[in-house]
Every structure is written in C-alpha cells, then in structure tokens.
Structure 1
Amino acid sequence: MLKKSLQILLCVFLLTSAESIAQKKNKKNKNAPQPVAADVKKPDGKKEPKPYKKVIDSTAVTQKGLIDVHKVGDKYLFEVSDALIGKEIMTITRYSKTPAGGGIFGGEEINRQVVRFEKGQNNTIILRSITYVIMSPDENKPITKSVKNSSADPIIGIYDILAYKKDENGKENVGSVIDMTAAFDSDLQTFSLNPINKQLLSIQAFQKDKSFIQFIKSFPINTEIRTTKTFTTQAPQISRTPMPKIGTDFPAALDAGVITMELNTSFILLPENPMRKRTFDKRVGYFANGYDVFEEDSQKSDTDIFAVRWRLEPKNAEDAERQKRGELIEPKKPIVYYLDPATPDKWKPFIKQGIDDWQEAFEFAGWKNAIRGEYWPENDPSMSLEDARFSVLRYFAAEIQNAYGPNVHDPRTGEIMESHIGWYHNIMSLLRDWYLIQTAAVDPKARNKKFDDKLMGELIRFVAAHEVGHTLGLRHNMGASFATPVEMLRNPEFQKKNGHTSSIMDYARFNYVAQPEDNVKDLFPRIGDYDKWAIKWGYSYFNGAKSEEEEKALLNEMTKDAYKNRRLWFGTETSPYDPRYQTEDLGDNAMKASEYGIKNLKRILPNLIEWSKEKGEDYSELEGLYNSLVGQFRRYMGHVTKNVGGIYETPKTYDMEGNEYEIVPSSIQNEAVAFLNEQLFKTPTWLLDQNIIAKINPDNGVELMKGIQDGTLSSLLSYDRMARLMETSSLNKANYSIDELLSDLKKGIFSELRTNTAIDVYRRNLQKAFVSKLIDAISVDKNVSANFNGRRIVIADTDLPSISRGHLIELRSQLRAANALATDRLSKFHISDLVARIDKALNPNR
C-alpha cells in the first residue's frame, strides 16, 4: 500500500476473461514430462500438425511483421515465431467507429493489457494475460518461486498448432501456425468491451452472425486487427414510477434493436531492452506506476514506484558526451504527435503550435527538436489512426465540452509508448465562456458572442499544450498559481515575462485579477518555469549514472536546489486540506484575488445582454453566460472557504529543512471568514440583476441566492472541516478553532440583532440555515462520522455537539433580546420561529 502522502492513483485496471477450448484427456502417464515435441504422436482423435505448405498453401495472402499473418479463405492464421514466445506484448483496443448518442467516440481507448504467447502441451500455443502486481528482481533467488506461486497469470486462449515453420535447413522449428480467427470475430473480452463498459452502454448479447473481422495488418513491431461487432441492447423500461437506470440508450438501438461498432486492437511488442525506471518523487508532478517488490535480503516487501515518461536517448556516445558538455542534441527517436485529418483546417496550425510549444521545455533537459506536431499524411496505406505506433490528437464531433490527454506506457518501466489525445468539438464553447467571464472586463476581444478565429485559435493552442503535457507524463500542478503574488497579477511587466501561473498544467485559466486600469495584455497561461523544470527532471539523460539509485541521488540534489524557488514547486491535485492547491484559482491570497475577481464580475454582468444578443434568437445564450458568471462567483467562495481548517502540505525528505505539514495561520483563516461575511453572507444583491433574470427565469433569484449561501455554509461547517479545526486547535490556542469560527459567523450572519434593522428574505433564509446546521450538530447520530487523514471520527463523541449547544444557547438569548425591540413584522415572526426551533432542539422532550 502507498503512504497517504503520495495520494496518487497508481492502479492499472487490467480486466481479463477466460476463453476455454475443449481438449480430450491425455492417455499418457500423468507423471510424464508435459511439453510435447512436434514429432510426438498426439492422443487418438487429436489432429497432428500438418506440413507447413499444406496449411499455408498457394491461396494464402501473407503479411510479414511482428506476427506473420496468413489469410487462408476466411481464416486468419498467425505465425508465432519462436523468437516471440515468452515476449511481452501490449494489446490496446480502441473504438474506430461508434454509434451516435452514447458518449463514446472513434479513437477512444476501451482497454489495454499485456499478453504473452507460450508453448503449451500437446502441440498448442497458450495466450496469457500478464498483470504486474508483485515482482522479484532476481530470477535466481528462492523467493522468486514464492512470487510466481502468488501471481498466476490467466490463460485467455489455447490454440492448436496447425503447422510448424522450419528453419532454412528444414530441420529446426522456428515458428508455429495457429488459427486466431475465433479470438477476434467473437466477443473475447481482451479484444472487446469489458463488462463495466457493456453495463454503462446497456449492451447485452453479442451477435455472431452480424460480426466479422474487417482486416488484419502486420508491421515490424505491431499487428493491427480491425473488427466489426454487433450487440443487442437492453430495451428501455416503461414505468409510471421513475426508476434509476444504469446505461445509455443508443438512438440506433431504439431504431434497430441492435448496435454496431468498429474496434481496432493493436498488438505492440514491448521493448526488449526495457527503459531504466526513474524513481517517482512526490515533490515533482509525474504520473506513476508501481508494484510490490519482494527481495531475498529484505525484511519486508517494498513498493517500486516510478515515473511515467517517454524514452529519450542520444543517437550515439559522441552525442551523449556533447550533451554532457552542455550542447543541445537531437534524440534518437523524437516524440511526434499527429493531427487527426478530421480536425477543422483553421484550427490545425494552432493545435500544432500548442504541441511545438514544448520544444523550449525540452531544451532545458538538453534536447533540441525532441517533440513536434505533424499533419497526418494523405493517402498513406501504411498508417492508421488507431495504429499503436502513432500518437494522434483525435478530433471528436461531440457536444462534450472537454479535452483529455492519456498515454499508454510499459507497465514494467513507465516508458510511454504512444498517446491518443481526445479533443471534443464543443471545447470551444467552454473556452468562449471561460474567457468572456474571466477577462471581458479588460479585453475588448472577449466581448462578443462569437470570438474571431485568432482569439479562439490561441485559446485552442493553450488547451492543446496543456493536454500534451499530460501525455508527457505531467500531472496537474494545482499549486503553481500560488507562486504568483496577487499584486503581480496586475503588473503588466511581470505578466509579460512570467504569466499568471508558473505552470500550464495548473487549472489557472485566465487572469481574472487584472483590472481595466492595469493595462495587462498577457492573460493566457503558457508553458512556465515549473513546466521547464519538470521536463528537465523527467527527461534529463544522465550519461554517467550507472543505476537507478545513482540517478535518484542526482535528481534529489536537483530537486532540493529547485525548492529554493517557489515557482518550481509542485502542488498535488489530490490534497483536501491545502488551500494553495486549488482548481481555477489565482495568486497567493484567495481573499484578495477573489475581491478583484468580483470587481470584474460586477463590470461584466450588466453587459451580458449586449454581448450575447442576436436577432431572432431566444435568451438561451444569455442564460448560459449568466450561469457561468454565477459559477465563477461560486468558485471564488470555494477558494476562500478552503483556507478555513486548512493545512499546508509541502512534500519534504529527511535531508530538507522544515515540516511537511503546517496549519494555515489563524490570521488567514480569520480573514477568510471575514471575506465570506462581507462578500456572500451580506447578500450580494448585485448578482440578482432583474433585467437579466426576468429574461431567463420566472423567479426573482431568491432560491438562487439561498443555494449559493447554503452551499458555502454547508462546506464551511462540514464535519470533515470541523474535525480538522478540533485537531489543529487542540494543542495550541493560537490556532483557529470551531468556537472562533461560529462566533465570527454569528457576528456576520446575525448582524441585524445588534442594529435592530429589518431582516430581509435572503438573510432570513441564511439565518435559518445556520441554526439548522447547529441543531444537526447537537443531535448528530452515532453513525455519522468525519474523515481526517484516513481516520473515522465519530462526531457525536467530539466537542462539536458541546460547542454547538453552547452557541445555540447564546444565540437564543440574543434572539429573545432582539425580538423585544424588533418593529418589522416579518422579522419578529422569523426571530420567534428561530427561538422556537432552538428551544425544541435543546429540550426535545418538553
């Protein structure tokens, strides 16, 4: 198990199924040696291998490659060379064509796994699925036997050898011919959809009579299999009472009762000379893989965790020495991404530029021309978009507003072998909304319903660079934006030189802090200081290092030196405690940054009608933009809230100074609550622009405001956050506590009690929500728990009910006193109601 501080997903889901082929029992002595030579007579009824030319006759159409494939009639015969026996092969299955309306698209990966051909008994070839869970580094040690006994790999196919290929002298067998037609024209899970995918897509029975192999092509290091598969689907349930349904109803299935899709499976040989692993370091943001390792001399098992990255090596020893002297050299094999020819022509140059932008980062690691984007060559029959030899950015005609950047890597070493980036057409709609809502106050080009091609192209370039970063092995660095002081976000010279975040891998979309008077022009993320450093860490070639351990020592010194510069820090995307690591935020102080952001939202909101209008169109565009603006405001509230009960998490090693965990200072937590009282709990009526709301909704925004305030209050008073506050304030009274939090909130939420002013509907809703949450805390069930650091904390057994009860008693006294002075009729009703609710909660049996 990984320690909590890693907090990364390292699991590789390799789902397999068994294909059984009936065999008659061997009548020989069961104690006899199991392997059967080619010339040994088989049991009665078992067909013996035939002469090669009788099986691969003159009618055979042959393709040479990783596996020689012979098409004889309607059969596909694989000639598995003896040299391939025991070698590990990655199989990757992707959709080539999909039915419309199911949320799946041609080019997307379905599954991947490693397989291996083995010699079986009685003239058979076995195909196994290989899972990397536990390993032993030394094959000659006794413990290796224990590892093998505990990690049997499943058999997914056993195939009769139809003929043996002889060597040039016609004496020795050098290959075995097997019929693998049934593996591909059936529904064998390894080369089809797994049960989870089928359930999500409501797929049921495989239709053999409507399924077939389109073609199989073989190349030097890979073999490609294209199939057409047809399935029945689950019929829609008709019921008068709504019932939950798992799965998608394809329109084609509703019309025809079946769906048909095309799949492509790639067999690609894993490197015979595995790449040297680079030990994972939680101070640098790389995806990782790993497995448990059992060594002969160890006293416990260890976990070998290594970074996922491409293999970049010098062409020769002379180049390696030149690079060591500081010269840039070209790698033996550069990283190339092809653009799907289905990509609209006007966006291709921008996407290509987003790929090429990474060249500068690789120069920091000593490489030139290490990465590039290429247009897909026209009319080249040797290339296929699903071919595992090629990395491709696939363009999907889909309404999904997203893009993603996966990679396929060698599970033994982390070597990335290829990537298929997914790009959905409607990502442009999301980019338009983001950019308009975040920058229209300072960029006139953003004040349009439709952006011009240059602006949209630059937005596309930014997203392409971000997704390519993932395919290079880089995780999100959610702490990068924290390295920029808030006031520097308003400095045009600083922004021109550094940008608003030190990493394009952050979710720091656009500079929403810059004010109109600042004259800041650089509003886009770009490949920054951290990205260059991270590429240097992952792709530097250490010519003198003789082992992984020597590399690790060199990298550790590099990392410690990098930690002197805050812009080179990595901030994990998985920390629930650290307010420095958040999505969509900017700057080193969420309160200051959000205040600037709100100022810009107030400038943008009155213009939404003008910027979204089009003759003859309804107000759906306006509604979408208004919802985006409200969503941006909600994000600001979330950014601030995370400071309360926050804990800084800075990965450290024994040879570094300082602690890994530090409590967010009380002054910052207090500042966060003061911000929420001022910007949210004091009703932000500016959001409720009736000129807009009356065009898109029948209501006046009361429930909208209630939802925003209640959502933030629920997060602020969540049991997990309360558990952290109790823990962090237990030994040091200077740390922010639950008592202080509730006192600060009461002062803001119930300010009318001190001033004897009328309580409007928004505040009445908010005050009821606050009281309800305290009542819930004093009557919490024993089964209710919080989670902190992986531990279950029973809330009923903590101080939270006691503190909440004390605050309810105090609040009841304040309400009673205020009620005697209140003159507003609805305010008096409201206060009386709150007193009654508190009375009932404190004395439930009265």
Structure 2
Amino acid sequence: MLKNPIKLLTLLLACSPILLKAQEKKAEPKAPTASTAPAKAPEAPKPGPKAYSEVITDKAKSTKGLFTIHKIDEKYFFEIPDSLLGKEIMTITRLAKVATIPGTYGGEMLNRQVIRFEKAPENKIFLRAVQYINVSPDSTAPIYKAVKNSNVEPIAQAFDLKAIKKDTVSKSNASVIEVTDFFKGDNQIFSLSPYTKSIYKFNGLAPDRSYIQSIKSFPINIEIRTVKTFMATPPMPSFGPASPIPSVNIPAAAAAGAVTLEINTSMILLPTVPMKKRYFDNRVGYFANGYTVFDENAQRTEDQTFAVRWRLEPKNAEDAAKQKRGELIEPKKPIVYYIDPATPEKWRKYLKLGVDDWQKAFEAAGWKNAIRGEILSDKDTTISLEDARYSAIRYFASDIENAYGPNVSDPRTGEILESHIGWYHNIMKLLKKWYMTQAGAVDPRSRKNKLDDELMGELIRFVSSHEVGHTIGLRHNYGSSSTVPVEKLRDPKWIAEHGHTPSIMDYARFNYVAQPEDGVKDLFPRIGEYDIWAIKWAYQTLDGATPEDDQKTLSKQYIQEFAKNPRIWFGTETNPYDPRTQSECLGDNNMLASDYGIKNLKKILPNLTEWTKEEAQDYEMLNEAYNEIVLQYRRYIGHVTKNVGGIFETPKTTDQQGAVYEATPKATQKEAVNWLSRQVFETPTWLLDDKIISKIRPDNGVDAISRIQETTLNNLFASDRLQRIIEINAKNSTSYSLDELYTDIRNAIWSELKTHKSVDATRRNLQKAYTEKLIAILNAPAAPTQVGFAFRGTVIPASVDPHKTDVTSVTRGHLLALKSELKAALPLTTDKMTKYHFEDVLFRIEKGLDPK
C-alpha cells in the first residue's frame, strides 16, 4: 500500500495518458453496415378526428333517433348529422327524483334553454346557448349583420371532434363527439342554476358519486337521465341580519354532508317550419313571448310580442276545406295530458275530466277531440313522463297547498311544445278550507272536516280545468267576475245559464254572495263565455298571409263580439289600480258583494265549533277554520279599499271609441269609504266570539282586530293612492278630493268627539293608529323620485314624495283640526280612560306638528 500521497499523485499522472487513450479507443463507434439501420424517432399522433371505426367500435351499443347515441363501456357519444348542426334545440331539465328538500319535488322543472351545435375551428364542435332578445327577420339585409354583431351567443361548451361518419349514399356526414364528462359534470344548462345551488348550500359536485344513468334517443328528442351528488353544508343558525339569499335546511346535508338528485334533461328539436305567430292582444289574456325586431324597412325598432299557444293543424287539405265550411274536424296532433300513475286512483278521473271539459271551447274554434286527458297505467312502460313528447299532470307528495300549470314554448313563435302540471297532494286541504268558508252557509256538504269523495272530486276537477287553462296559454282573468251584476249571483236561473263568473281563469273560487234562502246550488266556477271566446281567438284557423293580417281580423272580431257580450272582457291580474281586476272577488260592486259575504260569514262562525269537532282531538281544526274566516273578511276589506283612488283601465285599439283610463266614480269611492267605516272602523265584534276565542287563543282578539284596522288605514293612506286622488281632482274638480277622503275617514274614526260617548279599547287603538299614521306622513323623510312604468301589461307604481305634493298640506290641516276638536271635547269627557286617551293623542299631535 502506498502511504506517501505525493508518490501516489505522481504515479496517477504518469498513467493518465494511457488510460485516456484506452477510453477513446473503447468508445470509437463502428461503421454502419448494410444490415443495421439507425433507430427512427416515434411519430407524433395526428391531430383531429380518427377513423370512425376506431372510435365507434364493435363494442358500441347504438340507438337511433334525433342523434344516434353510442355507448361503449361507460362512455357516451353523440353522432350529430350535418343536417342538424346549426338547428335549434330546446332543452328542458327537470328533477326526476329528489332528496327531501322543502318546497322541491320530483317532476319540477329546473331550467330550460335553447341550444345549438355547430362546427368550430381546430376540429371542435361548439354548443351555444341561444338567446332571443334582438332579432332581424331578413338574413339577407345589411342590418341582420349589425344585429348579429351585437348579440353574440355564448359558447357553453367545446367538444373535440372524435370522428366523422361519411355516408356515401346520402352524401351527408355526421360528427361524433364524446359527451360523457359533460353530462356527468355540473354544467349550468343541464343542471341547477347557481342561485339554486347557493340556496341549497351546494359546495360542488362529487364526481365519484355522479354518473349517467341513461341516454335515450327518440325521433325528435333525446332524454338524458343523470344522478348527481353535491357536497352540501347545512345552514348555520343566523343571529345577525337576514341574508338576501335565503337558505334551505336539507336533512341529507345534515346527515351525510351530501345530497343526491336524479335529473332528467329533454332535448327537443324545434320545428323546422315555425308556426305562424298570433300577435299578442292585451284585450285577451294570453301568456306571451317576444323580442325586439330590427327591420330594414322600419324606421324604428318594434317589440314584437306573440301569444303562447299549441299548434293545431288540419290533417289534410280535405279537412281544411271542411273546417272552412264550418264543420268540426280533428287536428293532426291533439293536445293530450297523461295523468301520473302516482295519483291516488279515486282522483284520476276528476283530473281527466278537468282536461276534457275544455273540449267545448275548442269546438267553438273549429276543432273536435282537440284536447283530452289520458289515465296512464303504472304498468305502461312505453311512455315516460320525463319524455318531452308527453304532457302530464304530475302528482307530488307534498304538504304545499297548491297546484300550478306551466308550459314550454318555442321562443321564435310562441308554439307550446309540452307542459307538466304540478299537482300537490295537500291542495285538498286548501280546497276544503275555501269551500267551507265561502259556501258553508249554503251547502251543508261543506260542514265537516273531511269532505265526501264526490264533493272533493268535483273541487279537484275545477282546479284541474283552471291549471289546464294555463297550460294552453291562458292567464288569470281577474276582471271577468266584475262583469256580473251582484244580484244576479243570487239568481238560480242566471247562475244555471251563465255561472257566477264568465271565466274559470278568474280567482272567483265559489259563490259567496248567494244566500241560503236563494236556492242557488251551482257554486263552482266552470269554463265560461270568456274562456270559450279566448280559445276561439287563439286557436281558430285564419287565412291571413301574415300575422299582421290575422291581427286585423281578430281585432274586428273582438270589437264585434264585445259589443254583443261584454262578459268576454279581460282584466289583467297585474293592475294595482283597477278595482274591477281583483283576486277572490265577485260581482260588479265590491261593497254590496262584500256585505253579502260578511252576512254569510256571520252565519258560519257560530257553527264552527260543531262543524270541526272530532272525538279525542284538540281544537286545531277549529283554529284553522276561524283563521280562514278572518282571512276571508280581510279579502273583502282589500276588495273595497281598491276602489278608493281607483283608475279603470280598459285596453283599446285606435278603432275603438272612448278612453282607456278613467277614474273610479266619486259615488263609488265614497261608498267604499262608508263601507270601511261600517264594517271595519266600527269594531267588528262578530269576530270576537268568546265561545271560539277562548278555545284557540289566550287573548281576547282585541289586538288582532287592531292590526286589521291599522293595515286598512295604511292602505288608505298609501302615498301613491293619495297622489292619484290629487291628480284626478286636478283634472276634474267634482271628483272625490283628498280633503273629502280625509274628512270622511276622520269623521268615521273620531265619531265619539261629536257623540261624547266613552271610547272602548279597540277604538282607542284605532284612533291612536290614525294619529300616528298622519304624523308619519307629515314627518316622512323625502322619498327618492322613481318613475312608474308598465312592461307588457304589468304596471309598476311610481313612488311619490309627499313633501312635494298637497298630501303634506292636507295632512297638517287635518291634524290641526283634530287638535282643536280634542281640546273642545276634553272638558266634556267624564270617562277616565277616554280622558287619558284624548290627552295622550293631543300630546302626540302637538309633538308631531313641532317635532323639534
């Protein structure tokens, strides 16, 4: 071993040339021979689609329909013919099955959206979300490009083009895309909206618990069923101010931190030949679609609005000729509603009858067998109620007291494509409460906690007809009942011929005007004169070359028909000013009808304990029935109050005579204030039945009466109502003035100042509420100016700053007058509580007049 490092280093240096030379010689490459070729670098994969057979292999399970659907293992592919690229498709997404979520049920719609698949650069297929806001009718006009440039449709998804199927026979190709991850994932078009997810506190999708259950293709639609699991957090208890976004407490979120839903999406091809539009007419109550039109030949933009309706067409030219001669014909495709097999069997026939009742209205439009209900067997597997080709009445196991009737329509024309009526089980509870409260004085069948099946079935039939009316396009007609003289509602012969309201689309419920001695037996709404006219308006076949031609024809028809029968009048459900258009209202005089209604309530109330009692049960049913009586009474108050400062709105075209807007007559307004004085401001002691109150509440009901009175005062003194009275009086000095209104109310509420009677507790509360209300008007902060407007029949009232109007002046004058009257009455007052009360109110007025 060498121990000297210097000697070792010398030896290594001496040997290094030899070592290096040996290494160089060893590393010298061999010359290539003819049999040894250099290795090739691997080729990069070619971009773009593969051969069709490489993507859609022999393992594919394929179904043909709108698109051909291929399933290979767990992957799904759409094969989209070139003929359908660029075509518009309506997507409708519904909950098929749902966890226990308050207010949410299987069968309800989540969203709908028009989409379009189109070819895109870099071998992509785009899915666009189509919006109908601004359109140009002529694609060859220069303005069409300007409209397109200002309305770019969002690209919702980009798919890789996996393959192209070439058809050498038809010369039509098809694009193949994979949609597995798209439908498994959470995308806005085919899932819950961001707002809904925020309410449910969904934190994101759990991919390992979300999957595609099935994708099925039919001739005009595709049905996609997915299971999606969302991570969810139960809402925490809130101790601060209420959040602007409400939250829902979902049991599954608390139990597992996740919520699983089954979601069904229908993709239905919009008609290749769009239906001819029927332009909206605000004299006939239809739901409507619309958009802004930019026309090359017009000098302004036009908001084009058209009615929503089903497409009914003759089967052939021979039938079309028959219909033109006045014969009834069957449509090529009737309107059919399938009754959900989940519906209890005993109610199915009544739901079906509610659909079939509309046949007579369609006959007036020239169609027979145009609409019908079909009871669907739970053994029938050929029809799925999630399939967009089928309309249905869905039955929900829900404690919600309601039903609803939506429809899905083509945004281009208003053509209704399908409808799913939602029917909640607990609507029967609501129907029972309504019927006992409004018909209990007349119909002995209503006087029990559980109605007989036959009566409940007829009630279900009426609501079914109403909801079907919505799904064939009809809106509520709150004005219909106002065309009937109140006294006719007590006439059995009139009712037998006309019914108590001309429209089942009214919220006229049951005939609460008829008295027990009148002999009126027919208390239900039914399809009436307005409904028949409205269906004829929308569904008759017209020969006009354009929708504009049809519009002129229909306008002439309306004017002629209305002259013969004013009961076809339509009163919108959205007008806040017109006392003729009100929910739950009957007859042409709200005061007289409400007097009759209260007269019946006074007959019902003393019997409630007997009618609602059940052995070994508490007084829950009595409490419920009493609250319904109070609610009905409050409805009457609302009906009457709307007459004060009311403005009639009667839509007209330029070829009709008369004003569109007219003030409610002065006599009617004074009659309304007088009614409120009698029925509200004079304590309604009939409601304070101790035999009932003592069984359902610890107090005597005085505060409840005071709240009703105070609410009535607040409504009477609403700033927009007071301003309307001022404006009407400025135009017509003989109309009901603001000073007259204040005087009439003060005289009614403070009558004891003239009679020198003692004031009881309820009246003292009312008088204090009156004083506080006037002081609040006098010292209200300045209101920001907000202009009122109307949008497609919906009137939005303007806010009014009372400091810039006569409201403050008149209010101050009446507070001063009241102050003088109180001072004069005090020396003559002997009742101690009344004296305390007057002194207290006097102090409040003085402070209110000079708040400093």
Counterpart of 1:85 in structure 2: which amino acid? L
Q: Which moved more, 1:588-597 or 1:382-391?
A: 382-391
- The equivalent residue for 2:234 is 235
SS in 2 for 1:349: helix
- The equivalent residue for 2:548 is 549
Contact 1:634 1:708 in 2 (8 A): yes
- The equivalent residue for 1:7 is none
- The equivalent residue for 1:836 is 843
Contact 1:405 1:420 in 2 (8 A): yes
1:803 & 1:242 partners in 2: Cα distance? 38
SS in 1 for 2:809: helix
Q: Is 1:213 aligned to 2:207, yes or no?
A: no
Contact 2:651 2:660 in 1 (8 A): yes
2:127 & 2:277 partners in 1: Cα distance? 27
2:787 & 2:591 partners in 1: Cα distance? 27
Q: Which moved more, 1:689-698 or 1:587-596?
A: 689-698
- Which string of whole-angstrom CA distances, capped at 9 and with x for unpartnered residues, describes residues 340-379 of structure 1? 1000000000010000000000011000000000011444
SS in 2 for 1:827: helix
Q: Which moved more, 1:268-277 or 1:231-240?
A: 231-240
- The equivalent residue for 1:478 is 478
- The equivalent residue for 2:93 is 93
1:795 aligned to which of 793, 799, 802: 802
Q: Which moved more, 1:235-244 or 1:515-524?
A: 235-244
Contact 2:783 2:800 in 1 (8 A): no
Contact 2:726 2:738 in 1 (8 A): yes
- Report 1:767-782 matches (<5 A): 767-782=767-782
Contact 2:399 2:426 in 1 (8 A): yes
CA drift of 1:841 comes to: 1.4
- The equivalent residue for 1:708 is 708
1:319 & 1:387 partners in 2: Cα distance? 30
SS in 2 for 1:811: helix
Q: Is 1:697 aligned to 2:690, yes or no?
A: no
Contact 1:287 1:308 in 2 (8 A): yes
CA drift of 1:455 comes to: 0.3
- Report 1:735-754 matches (<5 A): 735-754=735-754
- The equivalent residue for 1:175 is 174
Q: Which moved more, 1:761-770 or 1:557-566?
A: 557-566
2:261 & 2:452 partners in 1: Cα distance? 37
- The equivalent residue for 2:818 is 811
TM-score by length of 2: 0.93
CA drift of 1:731 comes to: 2.2
CA drift of 1:240 comes to: 5.9
Contact 1:134 1:151 in 2 (8 A): yes
1:151 & 1:234 partners in 2: Cα distance? 38
Contact 2:719 2:800 in 1 (8 A): no
- Which string of whole-angstrom CA distances, capped at 9 and with x for unpartnered residues, describes residues 566-598 of structure 1? 110100001010000000010000000000000
1:240 & 1:572 partners in 2: Cα distance? 42
CA drift of 1:385 comes to: 1.1
2:784 & 2:136 partners in 1: Cα distance? 43
SS in 2 for 1:366: coil
- Report 1:517-532 matches (<5 A): 517-532=517-532
- The equivalent residue for 1:447 is 447
Contact 1:292 1:302 in 2 (8 A): yes
Q: How many pairs are equivalent? A: 801
CA drift of 1:45 comes to: 5.6
1:101 & 1:194 partners in 2: Cα distance? 16
- Which string of whole-angstrom CA distances, capped at 9 and with x for unpartnered residues, describes residues 495-526 of structure 1? 11111100000000000000010010000000
Q: Is 1:198 aligned to 2:197, yes or no?
A: yes
2:400 & 2:472 partners in 1: Cα distance? 24
CA drift of 1:124 comes to: 1.9
Contact 1:489 1:500 in 2 (8 A): yes
SS in 1 for 2:495: helix
- The equivalent residue for 2:157 is 157
Contact 1:785 1:795 in 2 (8 A): no
| Structure 1, unpaired ranges of 5+ | 1-42
- The equivalent residue for 1:827 is 834
RMSD: 1.4
1:238 & 1:443 partners in 2: Cα distance? 48
1:243 & 1:200 partners in 2: Cα distance? 13
CA drift of 1:53 comes to: 1.9
| Residue 402 to residue 452, structure 1, CA distance change in 2 (3 Å) | same
- Report 1:35-114 matches (<5 A): 47-114=47-114
Contact 1:102 1:201 in 2 (8 A): no
2:670 & 2:232 partners in 1: Cα distance? 56
2:798 & 2:721 partners in 1: Cα distance? 13
Counterpart of 1:833 in structure 2: which amino acid? D
1:750 & 1:136 partners in 2: Cα distance? 64
1:139 & 1:66 partners in 2: Cα distance? 27
Q: Is 1:293 aligned to 2:312, yes or no?
A: no
1:767 & 1:273 partners in 2: Cα distance? 67
| Residue 239 to residue 551, structure 1, CA distance change in 2 (3 Å) | closer
Contact 1:339 1:352 in 2 (8 A): yes
SS in 2 for 1:265: strand
CA drift of 1:839 comes to: 1.1
Q: Is 1:222 aligned to 2:246, yes or no?
A: no
CA drift of 1:703 comes to: 0.9
- Which string of whole-angstrom CA distances, capped at 9 and with x for unpartnered residues, describes residues 110-148 of structure 1? 000011111111222111110000000100000000000
2:386 & 2:505 partners in 1: Cα distance? 27
CA drift of 1:615 comes to: 1.1
Counterpart of 2:503 in structure 1: which amino acid? S
CA drift of 1:815 comes to: 1.0
- The equivalent residue for 1:422 is 422
SS in 2 for 1:711: helix
TM-score by length of 1: 0.93
- The equivalent residue for 1:491 is 491
| Residue 232 to residue 101, structure 1, CA distance change in 2 (3 Å) | same
- The equivalent residue for 2:500 is 500
Contact 1:724 1:788 in 2 (8 A): no
SS in 1 for 2:465: helix
- Report 1:561-576 matches (<5 A): 561-564=560-563, 565-576=565-576
1:518 & 1:610 partners in 2: Cα distance? 24
- The equivalent residue for 2:29 is none
CA drift of 1:173 comes to: 5.3
- Report 1:342-361 matches (<5 A): 342-361=342-361
2:518 & 2:755 partners in 1: Cα distance? 39
| Structure 2, unpaired ranges of 5+ | 1-42, 790-796
Counterpart of 2:281 in structure 1: which amino acid? D
Counterpart of 1:546 in structure 2: which amino acid? A
Counterpart of 1:739 in structure 2: which amino acid? D
| Residue 45 to residue 735, structure 1, CA distance change in 2 (3 Å) | farther
CA drift of 1:164 comes to: 1.2
Contact 2:315 2:332 in 1 (8 A): yes
- The equivalent residue for 1:9 is none
SS in 1 for 2:189: helix
2:749 & 2:788 partners in 1: Cα distance? 28
CA drift of 1:816 comes to: 1.2
SS in 2 for 1:158: strand
- Which string of whole-angstrom CA distances, capped at 9 and with x for unpartnered residues, describes residues 148-187 of structure 1? 0001001111111211111145x95510111011110000
1:787 & 1:723 partners in 2: Cα distance? 13
SS in 2 for 1:125: strand
- Which string of whole-angstrom CA distances, capped at 9 and with x for unpartnered residues, describes residues 45-65 of structure 1? 664322222221111100110
- The equivalent residue for 2:330 is 330
| Residue 46 to residue 474, structure 1, CA distance change in 2 (3 Å) | farther
Q: Is 1:408 aligned to 2:415, yes or no?
A: no
Contact 1:96 1:262 in 2 (8 A): yes
- The equivalent residue for 1:20 is none
- Which string of whole-angstrom CA distances, capped at 9 and with x for unpartnered residues, describes residues 519-562 of structure 1? 100000000000000000000001x3221121111101111112
- Which string of whole-angstrom CA distances, capped at 9 and with x for unpartnered residues, describes residues 773-832 of structure 1? 111121121136687555443211111111000001111111111111111110000011
- Report 1:305-384 matches (<5 A): 305-384=305-384
Contact 2:235 2:248 in 1 (8 A): no
